[in-house]
Amino acid sequence: MSEQSHLFPTYARFPITLVKGKGSRLWDNTGKQYLDFMSGLAVTNLGHAPDAVKDALVSQLDELWHVGNLFHIPNQEKLAKLLTDNSCADRVFLCNSGAEANEAAIKLARRYHSKVLGTGKYEIITFDMSFHGRTLATLTATGQDKVKDGFYPLPEGFVYAPFNDADALKGFITDKTCAIMLEMVQGEGGVNPASEPFVQEVVRLCKEHDLLLIVDEIQTGMGRTGKLFAYEHYGIEPDIFTLAKGIASGFPMGAMLGKEKLAAAFTPGAHATTFGGTPIATATAVATIELMLEQKLAQRAEQVGNKLIAELNARLAGNPLLKQVRGKGLLIGVELTVPAAEVIPALHEAGLLVIPAGPNVVRLLPNLLVTEEELEEGISLMNQVLTEKAKAAAGTNA
């Protein structure tokens, strides 16, 4: 771009301007076509501009856009019923982003302990390499120093335990601990699934010490990992979980869900947001979830994801740049022996849009309706680019 940008330079952007999208395809402003294996960061889980969601959005646009939360909004009840009928939660708070959903979860955990249990406990245990958002409380909850740089002083009451270390965890519980908050697969942290024994220990300690279990499903939720919500893989029931990214096919929306006992802590006036659950946002989310359930897309993500991981392992076997392919469902990380930044531009050039997750991981997030042909095309492009890169690296070493 030749002209000076008037935006704050908060994003290191790829040199691509995408102007159109349909299904798994995106086109840039030169007309070049791409296969989309990032889904706007696990957002467009049904592909770009899915017809059923578009129809619901357009018909709501004709009816009513916004009234505010001082009035009843039927779409909100419909969405909350869909979410609670299909999860372990009983209550829903609607908001506009992931950070805002986690902010609500943190506030609810503290308020439950202060107003309902009367313990005054406020400390929340989170984990190294976690990611929970960019507001002051959620960046403090995040177990990565890079998001905190320059923003001190931060809110009190967060401690960080090592992820997937069941033995270490109980040492972090104090007489102030009110909750444990974690991702079932750390997405931003490099696509690292929580281990079964670790999750069972988290649940056991929560029971033993009367702690709330908060699961951040903002990236893993909405069918992405092969279940509607990733906690289902572990047979557990969090007290609170949060959603955003994939909930409304690209319309901004977040949700914080919880068990019935928590309703006593979020009484009128306790928490609010102007735009949370507008008629338009909720119509879009309802259509997204209905399609997901109708077409059993979580199950599809599990089958297709297992196949993608197996195929990538088979085809990339022996490539010296490959360290490991891992993930759950269609949240997949390809860990390399070189920085992801060294191969991602070549993948984009070849027509495959992917993003990194941590320094050495290429993250693959195809939409849940991705076809067999598109998967094959993506695997071939990965193989082609990684083979070329490995050859070039061998050439420079020789």
Ligand X SMILES: *Cc1c(COP(=O)(O)O)cnc(C)c1O
Residues that bind ligand X (CB under 6 A): 97-99, 102, 131-133, 183, 187-188, 216, 218-219, 244-245
Of residues 254 and 378, the one with the C-beta less far from ligand X: 254
Rounded-to-integer distance, Cα 337 and Cα 324, Å: 9
Of residues 272 and 346, the one with the C-beta less far from ligand X: 272
Of residues 194 and 316, the one with the C-beta less far from ligand X: 194
Is residue 161 a contact partner of residue 170, using CB atoms and an 8 Å limit?
no
Nearest residue (beta carbon) to ligand X: 98
Closest approach of ligand X to the CB of residue 215, in Å:
10
Closest approach of ligand X to the CB of residue 256, in Å:
12
Of residues 40 and 305, the one with the C-beta less far from ligand X: 40
Closest approach of ligand X to the CB of residue 278, in Å:
16
| CA 251 to chain CA mean position, Å | 15
Of residues 48 and 132, the one with the C-beta less far from ligand X: 132
Q: Determine the Cα angle at 212 with ends 207 and 218, to 5°.
A: 130
Is residue 88 a contact partner of residue 80, using CB atoms and an 8 Å limit?
no
Closest approach of ligand X to the CB of residue 11, in Å:
12
Note the maximum CA span of the chain.
71
Laid out side by side, the sheet with 322-328 consists of 322-328, 331-336, 361-364, 355-356
| SS3 annotation, 269-281 | CCCCCCCCCCHHH
Closest approach of ligand X to the CB of residue 288, in Å:
16
Q: How many residues does the chain have?
A: 398
The DSSP bridge partners found for residue 355 are 363
Closest approach of ligand X to the CB of residue 275, in Å:
13
> CA dist 188 to 130, 220, 265, 361, Å?
7, 11, 31, 10
> For residue 163, what are its two tokens?
């992820």
Of residues 132 and 348, the one with the C-beta less far from ligand X: 132
